[in-house]
């Protein structure tokens, strides 16, 4: 495997009380920069291995909202609801890496994800949403 020095970053995870000093990693004579957090596809990991919940969820919600907007445009163009229901694009976005961080999410961030899911349901099935709202009154 070839490493590209311009694309590599070093993330040091150290739980000991003593600060260890490591020699810098070099690839082809170029020193790899040390970072405190790294973004892998869809997830930000910090050097203390705590998931940065707020950043991760905010990015996830942004992606899902972009896809929800495409559902709104499809609905406005007159596509039948049965076809809109088969066009699900937000679920993979909301569930990506959920097994990693969802168990420890604060309630307010979990509520944000549920809000996006509720919006998607109301776009895809507005009659069902109105029935639920009427029965809860």
| Same-domain status, 63 and 123 | yes
Determine the structural domain holding residue 25 and report its residue range: 10-35
* Farthest-apart Cα atoms in the chain, separation: 69
* 47 within a domain of the structure (yes/no): no
Q: In a structure prediction context, what are the per-residue pLDDT tens digits for the chain, which is 137 residues long?
A: 888 888 889 998 888 888 888 888 898 889 999 998 888 776 778 888 766 667 777 888 888 888 888 888 888 888 887 777 666 555 666 666 666 666 677 788 778 888 888 888 787 776 654 544 445 55
- The answer to whether the pTM exceeds 0.85 is no
Q: Which tens digits make up the pLDDT trace of 80-116?
A: 877 776 665 556 666 666 666 666 777 887 788 888 8
| Same-domain status, 61 and 16 | no
Backbone angles phi, psi at 52, to 5 degrees: -80, 85
Nearest alpha-carbon partner for 127 in 87, 90, 92, 82: 82
Distance, CA of 96 to CA of 43 (rounded, Å)? 9
| Same-domain status, 29 and 93 | no
């Amino acid at each position: 495997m070839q490493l590209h020095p311009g694309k590599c970053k070093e993330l040091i995870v150290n739980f000991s009380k003593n600060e260890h000093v490591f020699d810098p990693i070099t690839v082809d004579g170029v020193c790899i920069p040390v970072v405190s957090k790294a973004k892998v596809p869809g997830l930000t990991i910090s050097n203390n291995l705590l998931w940065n919940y707020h950043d991760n969820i905010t990015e996830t919600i942004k992606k899902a909202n972009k896809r929800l907007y495409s559902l709104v445009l499809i609905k406005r163009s007159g596509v039948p609801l049965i076809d809109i229901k088969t066009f699900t694009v937000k679920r993979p976005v909301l569930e990506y890496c959920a097994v990693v961080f969802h168990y420890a999410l604060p309630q307010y961030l979990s509520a944000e994800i549920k809000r996006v899911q509720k919006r998607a349901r109301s776009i895809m099935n507005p009659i069902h949403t109105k029935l639920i709202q009427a029965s809860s009154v």
